[in-house]
C-alpha cells in the first residue's frame, strides 16, 4: 500500500512525524493525530457488540451437534416429506381437485372465521391504542404540559414541579406499557378475563398505546413553536389550542405512525391466538397440538396473506396521508 | 416497527407545514379518521365483543388485584419451597435474562448479515450503476436482465420472510425439528432480516445522492460509489434502526420462552401458572430493565451521531 | 501509493473542444450550437446570468452529460477522446483526471475531512483498495491529504468530521479532494456562490494560483463579473444557451458586461409579470 516509500513497507511508523509542505510551515501530523476527535462511546459500543456476538454464540447455549444429528434429520425428513402434505393427497399424490377441496373445507370451517377475527382484533386494538395515545401524548409532551406552553430556553426549564411530576409519571407509564410485550399482556389478561377476544384486543391496545403515546409526544415536542405561541398570545386556552391547532398539526404524522403500528398489530393479532383467543393463531396452535402439520402450514400461509393485506391497507392509507399533507 | 424509525427522524427539525393545509384542511385525513372509526365499530361487531367481556371471570377480580398488588412488591425469593441446592431467585432471573440476551444477540447477528445483503440487493441505488457511454453487450445484458431479476428476488424474499411472525417461524421449526435453541435464534433472525432488509433498502434509496454522483463523476467504480458515497449517509439511520430492532429482538427472545425455550418467558409462564405473582413481576422487571438498557444505550449513541 | 503517483502522473493538462453542441431537455434548448475550445493549461471564466447554460456546459466537459447534438472532445497528451463515444474504461480514466468542484460541494458530511479528500483518488482505485484507504488510511495517504489541505489553508482540519466545518472550510475540502485527483483539468461550478465576498476573492485567487502552480486547465463558472475580470485572462459569456462573447479579458468592454446582465434584468421582469 505504501510501497511508495523506499524502504518502509508497512504503513505504521513510516515517515517523519512532521510534514513540511512547500518547505514552509510545518504541519505537525503527529500532533493532529493525537488530538483526533474520536468517540469513545462508539468505539466501546462496537467492541462491546462484537464481544457480545462472540459470547452469545460460544456461551454454550447452542448445541450444534444436536442440530445436525440423525434424529433431527429424520424429523425434518418426515416433516417435509410427509406431514406437510395435505392429508387427502398423501396416498394419491398431487391432485388439484382434492387439494382445492381440502383447502376450501379448511377455509370454510375455520379459516374465514380466523381471518375475520384476526383483522377485527387488530383494527379494534389499534383504534383503542390510538385513542389512549391521544389522551396520554399531550401530558407527556414537555412543551405542552407546562404552565406557559411553547416557551423555549429559560422559560421552558422553569416548569413547575407539578407539571414536571405529571410528565415524568406519564412517561414512566408509557415505558412500562411498551416494555412489556403484547404477548405477556395477553397472557395475563386471558387469565383474568377468560377466553374472549378482549385479552388480545387489550394486550395490543395497551402495548401500542405505550408506543404511540411516546411517538405522539415526540411529534408534539417537534412542532414549530411560533404559530402556537401566536395562538396562545391571542388568548387561546390550552384546550382550545389542542383542538384547533396542535391536533391538526400533528395528526398527519401521528396517523403515519398509527398505520405503521397497525401493520404490527395484524402480525401480533395472528400470533396472540396461540394463547387461546379465536384468531388464526388459535387454529395454528390447535392443528399443532394435534400434529396436523398440513393444516398448520395452511393457517400459517393464511396468516402471511393477511399480514400482506394489512401492509397494503397501511401503505395505501399512508399514501393518502402523504398526498393530503 | 417502522414507526420508530420515523421517530428517529422526527427528532430532526420539522419543515413548517405548508400554508394551505396548516390547520387540517386536508380532506383525506378526515376520510381516514372516519374509516378508522367505522372499521373499529365493524370489528367490535364481528368479534361480538360486548363490554360484559371486560368483567373479570369468576375469581378473575381477585386474581387481578392479587397480581397487580405484587407490582410494587416483586419477589426477592421463591414463593414456595424449592429443593435444596436451587439457585436463589435473583440468580435464576439473571440466568434467564442472560439467555434472553444471548438468543437476541445471536439472532441479531444473523439478521444483520441477512438484512444488509437484502437491503443492498433490494435497493434501487445498488443497481443504479450503469455507466454512461458505449456499454459492452455483456454489461447491457447484465443491467437489463440479471439486475432486475436479482432485485425482484430480493424484494420477494424480504416480503416472504417478513410476513411470517417470528413465533410462527419458531412453531414451524419446532414441528419440523423439535426443540433446539438454535432454531429459536433462526426463527427470530428470518423475519428480522427481512424487516432490516426492507428498511435498510429504503434508507439507502432515500439518502442524499450528491456525494455519490460527484464520486461517480470523478471515475469511481460503482461499488466504491455505493459503499463510500451513499452508504455512509444512510449509516447513522441504519445504526439507530438496527439498535431498535435489537430491543425488539430481546422482547421476541423473551416471548419464545412461552414455547419452551429457556428465556424469560419460560420463567414468567411457569411462575404465573404456579400463581407466584411476585416472581412474575421479578421476571417482568428484569425484562423491562433489559429493554430499557438497550434503549438508553442506543439513545446515547443516537444523540452522539444523528443530532 | 500516493507518493508514487506523483511521478507517473501524466504531465500534460487536458484541453477541451466543443463543436456545435446542443443540449435539449424536452422543449428547452439549454445549450444551443455552442462552439468553444479550451487549450491545455488555459484559465477561463464562464460568465452569464443564471440559467444561461454554464452548469450544463461544465457537465458536458466531464461527460456527466452527453450532448443531444454535436461533439465534445477532451484532448490529452495521448490524443483526443470523443466523450460520448468513449468506452466505460476510457471514460473512467478520463474522469479520474478531471476534477470537479460542485456548487453544493457534494461532500460526505458524516466522515472525516481526510476521507473526503481521499475520495479524490477513487477513480484510480479498485473497490478493495478504495475501501482499505477509506477505513485504514496509510500514513502516506494521510500525509498527502494533509499537504493538500495545508495548501488550501485548512491543514489542521484533517481529522475533523466534515460537517463540523464552516461553509468556506468545506469548500476548501472540496477543492482539496479535486486536487487529490492530480487533475489535468479542474472544472468549478459557481464555487463562490455561497461564501461572503472576501472569501470569494480568496477562493478565486487560490484556484487560479493552483492552476498556474500545477499546470492544469481551469474552467470556472462565475456569477460575479468583477472577480472574473480581475483573475481570468479569458472570459466566455453565455446567455440563453449560446455564446454571447468569448474574448481576452482586456478586450471586453464594460458596456458589454453591463448589457449581459441588463438583459437578465429585463428577462426577470418579463418572467415576473
> Which of A125-134, B292-301, C59-68 reaches the highest mean pLDDT?
A125-134
Q: In degrees rounded to 5, what are phi and psi of residue C250?
A: -60, -25
- The pLDDT of residue C256 is 83
CB pairs under 8 A between A and C: 64
Percent of chain B having pLDDT more than 90? 41
pLDDT at B3 > cutoff 70: no
The tens digit of pLDDT for each residue in C103-147 reads 888 999 989 999 999 999 998 888 999 999 999 999 999 999 999
Ranges of chain C with pLDDT below 70: 1-11, 263-273
Q: Which residue of B has its CA nearest to C125?
A: B220
Residues in chain C with CB shorter than 8 Å from the CB of A2 are: 1, 138-141
CA distance B114 to chain C (A): 21
The tens digit of pLDDT for each residue in B217-269 reads 888 888 899 999 999 999 988 988 899 899 999 999 999 999 999 999 999 99
Task: Read off the CATH number of the domain in which A291 is found.
Answer: 1.10.3720.10
Residue A267 lies in a domain: yes
- The pLDDT of residue A150 is 64
Q: Which residue of A has its CA nearest to B172?
A: A297
C100 in reach of chain B (CB within 8 A): yes
Interface of C with A in 42-101 (CB under 8 A): none
Whether C119 sits inside 8 A of B213 (CB atoms) is no
CB A64 within 8 A of CB A259: no
C2 in reach of chain A (CB within 8 A): yes
CB B154 within 8 A of CB B187: no
Count of structural domains, chain A: 1
pLDDT at A212 > cutoff 80: yes
CATH code assigned to B89-305: 1.10.3720.10
Average pLDDT, chain B: 83
pLDDT at A51 > cutoff 90: yes
C161 in reach of chain A (CB within 8 A): yes
Q: Which residues of A touch C (CB under 8 A)?
A: 1-5, 11-15, 19, 21-22, 25, 27, 29, 32-33, 35-37
- The pLDDT of residue B69 is 87
CA distance C63 to chain B (A): 8
CB A272 within 8 A of CB A122: no
Quickly state the pLDDT bin for A86 (edges 50, 70, 90): confident
pTM above 0.90, yes or no: no
Residue A43 lies in a domain: no
Whether A29 sits inside 8 A of C142 (CB atoms) is yes
Quickly state the pLDDT bin for A9 (edges 50, 70, 90): very low
Residue A190 lies in a domain: yes
pLDDT at A70 > cutoff 80: yes
C113 in reach of chain A (CB within 8 A): no
Average pLDDT over residues B120-143: 69
- The pLDDT of residue C193 is 79
Residues in chain B with CB shorter than 8 Å from the CB of A247 are: 24
Distance CA A209, CA B125 (A): 36
Pick from A184-193, A220-229, A246-255, B206-215: least confident: A220-229
Across the interface, of C63, C84, C127, the residue whose CB is closest to B221 is C127
- The pLDDT of residue C11 is 62
User: Helix count (H) and strand count (E) of chain A?
Assistant: 16, 2
Dihedral class, residue C183 (left if φ above 0, else alpha if ψ from -120 to 50, else beta): beta
Chains with at least 3 CB pairs less than 8 angstroms from chain B: A, C
Residue of B204, B220, B225 to mutate, interface with C, max C Cβ within 10 Å: B220
What ranges do the domains of chain C cover? Answer: 13-97+184-273, 108-182
pLDDT at B187 > cutoff 80: yes
C62 Cβ partners below 8 Å, 6+ apart? B217, C95, C98, C100, C187
Instruction: Name the DSSP class of B25.
Output: -
CATH superfamily of C13-97+184-273: P-loop containing nucleotide triphosphate hydrolases (3.40.50.300)
The tens digit of pLDDT for each residue in A142-183 reads 777 776 666 655 455 566 778 888 888 998 888 888 888 888
What ranges do the domains of chain B cover? Answer: 89-305
CB B8 within 8 A of CB B306: yes
C4 in reach of chain A (CB within 8 A): yes
The percent helix, strand, coil of chain C (3-state, each to 5) is 45, 25, 30
C139 in reach of chain A (CB within 8 A): yes
B238 three-class SS: helix
Residue A96 lies in a domain: no
C131 in reach of chain A (CB within 8 A): no
Quickly state the pLDDT bin for A194 (edges 50, 70, 90): confident
Residues across chain B: 307
- The pLDDT of residue B24 is 42
Across the interface, of B131, B214, B232, the residue whose CB is closest to C91 is B131
Quote the domain boundaries for residue A243.
110-324
Average pLDDT over residues B30-42: 88
A318 in reach of chain B (CB within 8 A): no
Across the interface, of A62, A284, A288, the residue whose CB is closest to B182 is A62
ipTM tops the 0.95 cut: no
Residue of A37, A47, A61 to mutate, interface with B, max B Cβ within 10 Å: A61
- The pLDDT of residue B115 is 96
Pick from A40-44, A52-56, B83-87, B115-119: least confident: B83-87
Whether C151 sits inside 8 A of A12 (CB atoms) is no
Average pLDDT over residues A22-27: 49
User: Helix count (H) and strand count (E) of chain B?
Assistant: 13, 0
Residues in chain B with CB shorter than 8 Å from the CB of A181 are: 251-252, 254-255, 287
Residue of A72, A123, A128 to mutate, interface with B, max B Cβ within 10 Å: A123
CA distance C21 to chain B (A): 17
Compute the radius of gyration of chain A from its Cα atoms.
Answer: 29
- The pLDDT of residue B164 is 93
- The pLDDT of residue B229 is 92
- The pLDDT of residue A142 is 76
pLDDT at A5 > cutoff 70: no
The tens digit of pLDDT for each residue in A274-320 reads 888 888 999 999 998 988 888 899 999 999 999 999 989 988 888 88
- First and final CA of chain A: distance in angstroms? 53
Residue of C106, C120, C171, C176 to mutate, interface with B, max B Cβ within 10 Å: C106
- The pLDDT of residue C162 is 92
Across the interface, of B26, B27, B46, the residue whose CB is closest to A325 is B26
The tens digit of pLDDT for each residue in C14-34 reads 899 999 999 998 888 889 999
Signed CA dihedral, B213, B215, B219, B221: sign only: negative
Compute the radius of gyration of chain C from its Cα atoms.
Answer: 19
Amino acid at each position: 500500500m505504501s510501497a511508495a516509500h523506499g524502504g518502509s513497507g508497512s504503513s505504521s511508523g513510516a515517515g517523519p512525524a512532521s510534514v513540511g509542505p512547500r518547505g514552509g510551515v510545518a504541519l505537525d501530523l503527529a500532533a493532529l493525530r493525537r488530538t483526533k476527535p474520536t468517540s469513545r462511546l462508539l468505539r466501546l459500543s462496537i467492541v462491546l457488540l462484537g464481544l457480545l456476538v462472540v459470547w452469545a454464540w460460544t456461551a454454550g447455549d447452542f448445541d450444534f451437534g444436536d442440530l445436525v444429528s440423525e434424529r433431527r434429520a429424520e424429523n425434518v425428513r418426515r416433516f417435509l416429506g410427509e406431514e406437510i402434505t395435505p392429508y387427502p393427497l398423501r396416498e394419491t399424490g398431487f391432485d388439484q381437485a382434492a387439494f382445492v377441496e381440502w383447502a376450501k373445507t379448511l377455509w370454510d370451517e375455520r379459516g374465514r372465521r380466523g381471518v375475520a377475527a384476526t383483522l377485527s382484533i387488530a383494527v379494534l386494538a389499534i383504534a383503542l391504542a390510538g385513542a389512549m395515545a391521544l389522551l396520554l401524548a399531550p401530558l407527556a409532551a414537555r412543551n405542552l404540559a407546562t404552565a406557559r406552553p411553547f416557551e423555549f430556553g429559560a422559560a421552558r426549564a422553569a416548569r413547575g414541579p407539578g407539571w414536571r411530576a405529571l410528565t415524568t409519571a406519564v412517561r414512566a407509564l408509557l415505558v412500562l406499557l411498551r416494555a412489556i410485550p403484547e404477548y405477556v399482556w395477553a397472557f395475563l389478561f386471558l387469565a383474568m378475563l377468560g377466553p374472549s377476544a378482549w385479552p388480545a384486543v387489550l394486550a395490543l391496545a395497551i402495548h401500542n398505546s405505550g408506543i404511540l403515546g411516546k411517538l405522539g409526544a415526540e411529534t408534539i415536542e417537534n412542532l414549530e413553536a411560533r404559530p402556537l405561541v401566536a395562538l396562545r398570545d391571542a388568548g387561546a386556552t390550552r384546550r382550545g389550542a389542542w383542538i384547533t391547532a396542535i391536533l391538526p398539526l400533528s395528526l398527519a404524522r401521528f396517523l403515519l405512525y398509527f398505520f405503521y403500528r397497525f401493520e404490527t398489530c395484524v402480525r401480533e393479532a395472528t400470533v396472540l391466538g396461540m394463547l387461546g383467543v379465536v384468531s388464526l393463531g388459535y387454529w395454528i396452535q390447535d392443528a399443532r397440538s394435534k400434529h396436523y402439520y398440513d393444516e398448520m402450514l395452511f393457517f400459517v400461509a393464511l396468516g402471511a396473506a393477511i399480514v400482506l393485506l394489512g401492509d397494503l391497507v397501511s401503505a395505501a392509507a399512508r399514501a393518502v396521508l402523504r398526498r393530503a399533507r | 416497527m417502522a414507526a420508530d424509525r420515523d421517530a428517529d427522524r422526527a427528532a430532526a427539525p420539522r419543515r413548517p407545514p405548508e400554508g394551505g393545509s396548516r390547520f387540517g384542511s386536508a380532506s383525506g385525513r378526515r376520510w381516514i379518521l372516519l374509516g378508522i372509526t367505522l372499521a373499529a365499530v365493524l370489528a367490535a361487531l364481528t368479534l361480538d365483543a360486548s363490554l360484559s367481556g371486560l368483567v373479570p371471570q369468576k375469581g378473575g377480580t381477585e386474581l387481578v388485584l392479587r397480581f397487580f398488588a405484587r407490582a410494587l412488591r416483586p419477589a426477592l425469593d421463591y414463593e414456595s419451597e424449592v429443593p435444596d441446592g436451587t439457585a436463589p431467585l435473583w440468580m435464576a432471573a439473571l440466568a434467564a435474562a442472560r439467555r434472553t440476551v444471548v438468543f437476541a444477540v445471536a439472532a441479531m447477528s444473523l439478521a444483520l448479515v441477512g438484512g444488509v445483503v437484502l437491503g443492498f440487493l433490494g435497493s434501487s441505488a445498488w443497481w443504479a450503476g450503469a455507466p454512461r457511454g458505449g456499454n459492452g453487450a455483456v454489461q447491457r445484458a447484465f443491467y437489463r436482465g440479471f439486475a432486475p431479476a436479482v432485485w425482484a428476488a430480493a424484494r420477494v424474499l424480504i416480503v416472504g420472510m417478513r410476513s411470517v411472525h417470528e413465533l410462527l417461524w419458531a412453531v414451524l421449526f419446532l414441528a419440523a425439528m423439535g426443540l433446539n435453541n438454535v432454531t429459536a435464534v433462526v426463527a427470530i433472525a428470518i423475519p428480522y432480516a427481512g424487516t432490516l432488509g426492507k428498511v435498510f433498502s429504503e434508507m439507502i434509496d432515500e439518502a442524499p445522492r450528491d456525494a455519490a454522483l460527484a464520486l461517480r463523476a470523478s471515475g469511481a467504480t460503482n461499488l466504491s460509489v455505493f459503499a463510500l458515497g451513499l452508504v455512509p449517509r444512510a449509516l447513522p439511520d441504519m445504526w439507530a434502526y438496527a439498535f431498535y430492532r435489537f430491543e425488539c429482538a430481546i422482547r421476541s427472545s423473551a416471548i419464545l420462552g412461552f414455547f419452551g425455550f429457556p428465556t424469560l418467558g419460560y420463567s414468567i409462564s411457569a411462575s404465573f401458572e404456579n400463581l407466584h405473582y411476585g416472581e412474575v413481576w421479578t421476571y417482568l422487571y428484569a425484562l423491562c430493565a433489559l429493554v430499557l438498557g438497550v434503549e438508553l444505550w442506543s439513545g446515547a449513541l443516537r444523540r452522539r451521531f444523528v443530532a | 501509493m500516493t507518493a508514487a503517483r506523483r511521478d507517473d502522473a501524466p504531465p500534460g493538462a487536458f484541453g477541451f473542444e466543443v463543436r456545435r453542441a446542443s443540449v435539449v431537455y424536452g422543449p428547452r434548448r439549454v445549450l444551443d450550437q455552442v462552439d468553444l475550445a479550451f487549450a491545455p493549461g488555459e484559465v477561463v471564466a464562464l460568465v452569464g446570468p443564471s440559467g444561461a447554460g454554464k452548469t450544463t456546459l461544465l457537465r458536458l466537459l466531464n461527460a456527466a452529460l452527453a450532448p443531444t447534438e454535436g461533439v465534445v472532445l477532451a484532448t490529452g497528451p495521448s490524443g483526443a477522446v470523443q466523450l460520448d463515444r468513449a468506452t466505460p474504461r476510457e471514460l473512467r480514466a478520463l474522469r479520474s483526471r478531471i476534477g470537479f468542484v460542485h456548487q453544493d460541494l457534494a461532500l460526505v458530511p458524516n466522515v472525516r475531512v481526510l476521507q473526503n479528500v481521499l475520495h479524490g483518488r477513487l477513480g484510480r482505485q479498485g473497490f478493495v483498495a478504495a475501501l482499505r484507504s477509506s477505513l485504514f488510511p496509510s500514513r502516506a495517504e494521510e500525509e498527502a491529504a494533509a499537504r493538500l489541505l495545508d495548501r488550501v489553508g485548512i491543514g489542521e482540519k484533517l481529522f475533523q468530521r466534515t460537517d463540523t466545518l464552516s461553509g468556506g472550510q468545506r469548500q476548501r475540502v472540496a477543492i482539496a479532494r479535486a486536487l487529490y485527483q492530480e487533475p489535468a483539468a479542474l472544472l468549478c461550478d459557481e464555487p463562490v456562490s455561497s461564501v461572503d465576498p472576501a472569501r470569494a476573492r480568496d477562493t478565486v485567487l487560490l484556484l487560479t494560483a493552483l492552476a498556474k502552480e500545477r499546470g492544469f486547465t481551469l474552467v470556472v463558472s462565475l456569477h460575479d463579473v468583477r472577480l472574473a475580470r480581475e483573475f481570468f485572462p479569458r472570459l466566455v459569456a453565455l446567455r440563453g444557451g449560446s455564446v454571447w462573447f468569448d474574448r481576452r479579458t482586456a478586450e471586453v468592454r464594460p458596456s458589454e458586461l453591463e448589457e449581459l446582465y441588463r438583459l437578465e434584468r429585463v428577462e426577470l421582469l418579463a418572467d415576473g409579470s
